[in-house]
Structure formats: structure tokens, C-alpha cells
Amino acid sequence: MNDDPMIPLSPDDSFSFDCSSKIGCFNECCRDLNQFLTPYDVLRIKQVPGMSSSGFLEQYCGQHAGPESGLPVVTLKPADPFTLVCPFVSPDGCTIYQHRPSSCRMYPLVRAVSRSRESGRLTEYFALLKESHCMGHEQNQESTVSQWIKNQGLLPYNDMNDKLLEVISLKNRICPGPMDVKTSRFCFMALYDLHPFRRHVFEKSILKDMTLDENLLEKARTDDVALLTLGMEAIKQLILKEP
Ligand code: SF4
Ligand code: SF4
């Protein structure tokens, strides 16, 4: 069991933390990996030069089914099975820093979100995780939770991750549990593998029987965020059609 303290914080609360290559524990947090990737994490990592969504998923990821929702879930495969080190860490730090996943950006904060069934309103909760190996807490760099989120470029991640939460909540409510193989493959492509998804939408018209926002559909021809939003909307319609 992890005994490291979690200190609840509100968005305006300050905490003291900094991380840099000059700190003795540099790169320590990029091993012992147990990392889930959200669809928006994958969307961003595929922007790393030379990376495609299919290539990234094939080479670097494990695929699973969410235990409650049955929706596809993706994890980052460690480069080494013993140290569980991240495949993207180098002696100079993270090699995909500009496109690093949301959990790496959020650390040492933890964000949880709850959604009201009645109003659909989301409520955010934050905590500071004080792991004993992390010397970042000894540095004198103050920021509030809100400033941290903005400075780490987390706003678009949180926005898309909250949209995913809506899909998961709907699935759990309407038809929890495993999905058939065909639907599961569709959901995997629509959430994570955007390159073939775009081809299937615009060359094979796989969404032709759905009622989707025309502007969103048009934007999704060239815009990945619009394409992922479209994928989530399509999955919601599939869920709502479940008998
Ligand atoms: S200060 Fe913390 S976050 Fe930064 S490298 Fe060290 S362990 Fe990782
Ligand atoms: S993606 Fe980058 S920051 Fe995140 S664990 Fe891997 S090397 Fe570390």
C-alpha cells in the first residue's frame, strides 16, 4: 500500500514545488510505470514527428477493456519489465516533453472529477501527492493549483478528458460491462486510432446513419480534436441505441 500523503487542495490553494534536471531525483518519477493514456494523450503523442496513432499504439501501448464500462483502455508499455521505465525517458529528460501525457503534466497534483447524474455538472477535486522520493517539494517555487494547470498546458487535456468521462458515465449507466468485438473495435479506433478513423469516416462513410453536427463533421476532416469529439459523439449514439 502507498503511504505517501495526499493533501486535498482547492484551485486557489498554493503549494511549493519545482522540477528540473538539477534536482538529485531527476527522472526518478519516469520509472515504475503504471500509466493509463487518455484519448487526448494519444492524440497529442501522435503529433511527435514521425509518430502515427497506429504506429504508437502498436509499438508502445497495451490494450485492455475498462473493468466497469467495457470501453477500450490504453496503457503505456514500459521499456523494461523489471524497472518499468518509461520508453520516452532519456538522460536529458522526457523526449516527448511537448506532448507528454496529462498525468505527467499534472504530477505532483492529482485531479479527480465527479459528475452529477441530475444536472450533468462536473465537480473537480485536487490533491497534492507528496511522494518521499520526490525532492521537488523542497524547492521554493510557489504556485496555485489553477496556475499549475494553466502553466502545464493542461486545460485542453482536462477538457477532452472530461468529455471522455461523459462517455464512460453514459456507458456505465445504460449498458455496463463487456462490449461485442465489433463495437469494441469501433470504439478503440474512434477514441485512439484517429488516422484510420478519419479514413473510415470520410472515405467509407461509417457514420452515415448517425445524426451528427454537420459543422463538427466538416471540421473533423482536418482537425484532430474535432475528429475525437466526433468519435465520442458517435460512441454515445451507439450506447443510446443499445437494447
Ligand atoms: S522532482 Fe519529482 S517530478 Fe521532478 S524529477 Fe524528481 S521525482 Fe520527478
Ligand atoms: S512520458 Fe515523459 S514525463 Fe511521462 S513518464 Fe515518460 S518520460 Fe516521464
Q: Which ligand is nearest to the CA of 89?
A: 2
Asked if 15 and 122 sit in the same domain, the reply is yes
Asked if 142 and 166 sit in the same domain, the reply is no
Q: Which of 102, 127, 153 is the last residue in one of the domains?
A: 153
Average pLDDT of 111-128? 91
Q: Report the SS3 class of residue 156.
A: helix
Q: Which of 153, 178, 201 is the last residue in one of the domains?
A: 153
Residue with the three cell numbers 499534472: 106
Helix H or strand E segment including 145: helix 145-151
Does 1 reside within a domain? no
Cell of 7: 493533501
| Amino acid identity for residue 112 in this structure | A
Does 131 reside within a domain? yes
Burial class of residue 144 in the structure, from the number of CB atoms within 10 Å of its CB (0-12 exposed, 13-18 middle, 19+ buried): middle
Asked if 125 and 46 sit in the same domain, the reply is yes
pLDDT at 235: 98
Q: Ligand 1 pocket, 104 CB below 6 A?
A: no
Asked if 186 and 218 sit in the same domain, the reply is yes
Q: Is the pLDDT of residue 1 over 60?
A: no
Beta bridge partners of 36: 75
Does 55 reside within a domain? yes
Does 128 reside within a domain? yes
Residues in the chain: 243
Does 73 reside within a domain? yes
Task: Give residue 21 CA to ligand 1 midpoint distance, Å.
Answer: 9
The domain in which residue 187 lies consists of 160-241
More confident residue, 56 or 81: 56
CA 6, 11, 16, 22 dihedral sign is: positive
Asked if 84 and 147 sit in the same domain, the reply is yes
Q: Report the SS3 class of residue 35.
A: coil
pLDDT at 32: 78
Read off the pLDDT of residues 204-230 as tens digits, 9 standing for 90 and up: 999 999 999 999 999 999 999 999 999
Q: What are phi and psi of 136, to 5 degrees?
A: -60, -25
Asked if 57 and 166 sit in the same domain, the reply is no
The best mutation among 15, 18, 19 to test binding of ligand 1, ranked by most ligand atoms within 8 Å of the C-beta, falls on 19
Read off the pLDDT of residues 7-46 as tens digits, 9 standing for 90 and up: 999 999 999 999 999 999 999 999 878 899 999 999 999 9
Indicate the number of domains in the chain: 2
Does 232 reside within a domain? yes
Asked if 133 and 167 sit in the same domain, the reply is no
Asked if 170 and 62 sit in the same domain, the reply is no
Task: Give residue 32 CA to ligand 2 midpoint distance, Å.
Answer: 11
pLDDT at 2: 60
| Ligand 2 pocket, Cβ-based, cut-off 6 angstroms | 30, 86, 88-89, 94, 96, 100-101, 104
Does 83 reside within a domain? yes
Q: Is the pLDDT of residue 177 over 80?
A: yes
Residue 79 and residue 25 in contact, taking contact as beta carbons nearer than 8 Å = no
Q: Which of 122, 153, 184 is the last residue in one of the domains?
A: 153
Does 58 reside within a domain? yes
Q: What is the pTM for the complete model shown?
A: 0.95
Start-to-end C-alpha separation, the chain: 41
State the chain's mean pLDDT as an integer. 95
Asked if 11 and 97 sit in the same domain, the reply is yes
Q: Is the pLDDT of residue 181 over 80?
A: yes
Asked if 143 and 167 sit in the same domain, the reply is no
Burial class of residue 235 in the structure, from the number of CB atoms within 10 Å of its CB (0-12 exposed, 13-18 middle, 19+ buried): buried
pLDDT at 242: 75
Nearest residue to 115 (alpha-carbon basis) of 105, 124, 126: 124
Q: For ligand 1, atom 5, which residue shows the shortest CA distance?
A: 26
Asked if 164 and 148 sit in the same domain, the reply is no
Asked if 168 and 113 sit in the same domain, the reply is no
Q: Ligand 1 pocket, 25 CB below 6 A?
A: yes
SS3 content of the chain, % helix, strand, coil (to 5): 40, 15, 40
